A and B are shown apart, each in its own frame.
Chain A
Amino acid sequence: MGEVAHLINGLRKHDPRAIGRAISIVEDSGESAEILLSSLDESLIEQTLVLGITGPPGAGKSTLTSRIISHLRKQGIRLGVIAIDPSSPISGGAILGDRIRMMRHALDQDVVVRSMAARGRLGGLCSAAGGVVRVMANGGCSTIIIETVGVGQSEMDIVRLADITAMVLAPGLGDDIQAMKAGLLEVADLLVVNKADRPGAEMLAMDMEAMIRNRKSSHETPVCRTVATEGTGVSDLVAAIGSIDQQHRASGEHQYRRKKSFQLEVIDRALEIIRPELFSTLKNLDGKHELDPGRTARRLVKMLLLK
């Protein structure tokens, strides 16, 4: 209890150590995590803009994030970055390397960068990252960027934490992009064709624009071209993000998404709570096994609800 109060006080003062420690507590999700999260100021969370940056490996997400940071810093915005990398399925360890591309901000106290391993959580990642967003918001970050590789389902789920999601693509990543195209427009509010200095970039951008036109949707998804290594196109990108944010807040889309993401996080956390219960109840069911897993599952849930 004493420690949490101390950390909350530290968050208020933007103390880097307190922020780092508080994030670890939330990441490890234990009893203190719950106490900590329930002591946070909700109004600060409501005011933040959460921006998701996703896309295939190597597209330039971290480099671009670093450029967006520079841009927002010039406007005096204090911001947080959550950079998520996969965990090794064998050892459970991870190498978290996104920060390398953001080191130019290392000494800027108003840029709070936190690397996070996906930890192969079954779900769960959403609730952990959601908690980190809350801590950063209480540590004074008014914009929070979440960088994650957009390939697996859990990564896509994370994107739902964001108010606005940018999908970063690049030429030369070929098959990856082909495979992603189908689900691409479902999650992205805007597309970024990065590495515009490379051959094939304009083709890719035009390809994407054609796809958007064919979709016959009421709202159009902008396609931005950037060279993250040089900063080209970043101010247009930031402007596009700002205008989408304004639209979403005016139309109620922003509020709707926040509600959805809140629900998602609650379900995620509820599943975490139930999972061990399910296992222990299933053990009690032993001997009375049915061959059909579906039917067993329904019986299991019924038993749990009756408890």
Chain B
Amino acid sequence: MTEKSSKRYRVLVGKPGLDGHDRGAKFIARALRDDGFEVVYTGIRRTPEEIAAAAVQEDVSAIGLSSLSGGHVRLFPAVVEALKKFHAEDIPVIGGGVIPDEDVVALKKAGIIEIFRPGTPLKKILAAFHQACESYHHKAFR
């Protein structure tokens, strides 16, 4: 378990597109909960707009997206675009799933701050969420 701060962070875990592989997303949601996060889980088969709108209403400090069927190239950046539409592009987006090497650079360029693939140590993933939440709060509540 990573070091806990007094602030209880709220994050959203979602799966954009038609991909039904939800084991990884649920695994990450549970891991975040067990590390003290409050995790809004929005389930499978959501549009990027639905995920962004939910993130705004729930006022989360970070969004985690999961994709295993190859849809990430289009769908992850689409979530970032939808956040812009809602004036919420400051909410950090982290991605994960079965994602080939060559896509990682493009996704990062599109505004996804980190990508985690199978085999990543959980500690690293949790640390990334902590860091994302902290920097979001730092910016939002100067």
Q: Does A117 interact with chain B (Cβ within 8 Å)?
A: yes
Nearest CB on B from A133, distance (A)? 16
6 tightest A-B CB contacts, nearest first: A20-B59, A93-B33, A100-B43, A106-B50, A93-B36, A24-B59
Q: Is the CB of A113 within 8 A of B59?
A: no
CB distance from A184 to the nearest CB of B (A): 30
Is the CB–CB distance between A96 and B38 below 8 Å? Answer: yes
A-B contact count (CB 8 A): 88
Interface residues of B in 4-51 (CB under 8 A from A): 7-8, 10, 29-30, 32-43, 46, 49-50
B41 touching A97, Cβ below 8 Å: yes
A135 to chain B, nearest CB (A): 11
**Contact of A99 with B by CB under 8 A:** yes
Q: Mask for A191-232, Cβ within 8 A of B = 1, else 0?
A: 000000000000000000000000000000000000000000
How far, in whole Å, are A104 and B85 apart by their CA atoms in the complex?
Answer: 19
Q: Identify A93's interface contact among B39, B42, B46, B57, CB under 8 A.
A: B39
Residues of B within 8 A of A251 (CB): none
A190 to chain B: which residues have CB within 8 Å? none
Which partner residue on chain B sits nearest A115 by CB separation? Answer: B40
In the complex, per-residue mask of A80-109: 1 if CB is within 8 Å of any chain B CB, else 0: 000000011011111111011001001100
Residues of B with C-beta under 8 A to A113: 54, 57-58
User: What B residues does A90 contact at CB under 8 A?
Assistant: 34
Asked if B88 is an interface residue, CB under 8 A from chain A, the answer is: yes
In the complex where A16-B53, A17-B56, A17-B86 touch, is A91 in contact with B41 (Cβ < 8 A)? no
B87 within 8 A of A: yes
Proximity bits, A105-126, B CB within 8 Å = 1, else 0: 0110000111101010000000
Q: Which residues of A contact B53 (CB under 8 A)?
A: 16, 106-107
Closest to A83 in B: B40
* A50 sits at the interface (CB 8 A): no
Central interface residue in B32, B38, B53, by most chain A CB within 10 Å: B38
Q: How far apart sit A19 and B58, CA to CA, in the bound complex (Å)?
A: 9
Main secondary structure, interface of A, reads: mixed
Q: Which one of A21, A93, A103 contacts B38 once the chains associate, using CB atoms below 8 Å?
A: A93
Q: Are A95 and B57 closer than 8 Å at their CB atoms?
A: no
Interface flag for A37 (CB, 8 Å): no
Taken residue by residue from 77 to 99, chain B's Cβ proximity to chain A (1 for < 8 Å, 0 otherwise) reads as 00000000011100000000000
CB < 8 Å neighbour of A115 from B32, B34, B58, B86 = B58
Interface size band for B: 20 to 34
* A/B interface sample: 17 pairs, CB < 8 A: A16-B56, A17-B59, A17-B86, A17-B88, A21-B59, A87-B38, A88-B34, A90-B34, A91-B35, A92-B36, A93-B8, A94-B39, A95-B30, A100-B41, A106-B54, A112-B57, A114-B58
**Shortest Cβ distance from A18 into chain B, in angstroms?**
10
Q: How far is the CB of B108 from chain A (nearest CB, A)?
A: 25
* B87 engages A17 (CB within 8 Å): yes
Centre residue among A87, A88, A99, A114 by max chain B CB count within 10 A: A99
List residues 1-42 of chain A with CB under 8 A from any CB of chain B: 16-17, 19-21, 23-24, 28
Chain B residues near A106: list those with CB within 8 A.
42, 46, 49-50, 53-54
B38: A residues at CB distance < 8 A: 87, 93-94, 96, 115, 117
CA distance A96 to B86 in the complex (A): 22
Q: How far is the CB of A99 from chain B (nearest CB, A)?
A: 6
- How far in angstroms is the closest Cβ of chain A from B86? 7
| Complex CA–CA separation, A23 to B128 (angstroms) | 25
Nearest chain-B residue to A111 (Cβ)? B57
- A119, B1: Cα distance in complex, Å: 19
CA distance A134 to B34 in the complex (A): 31
A93-B34, A106-B46 given; name 7 further pairs at CB < 8 Å: A93-B35, A95-B29, A95-B41, A99-B54, A99-B58, A117-B8, A117-B38
Q: Which residue of B lies closest to A97 (CB)?
A: B41
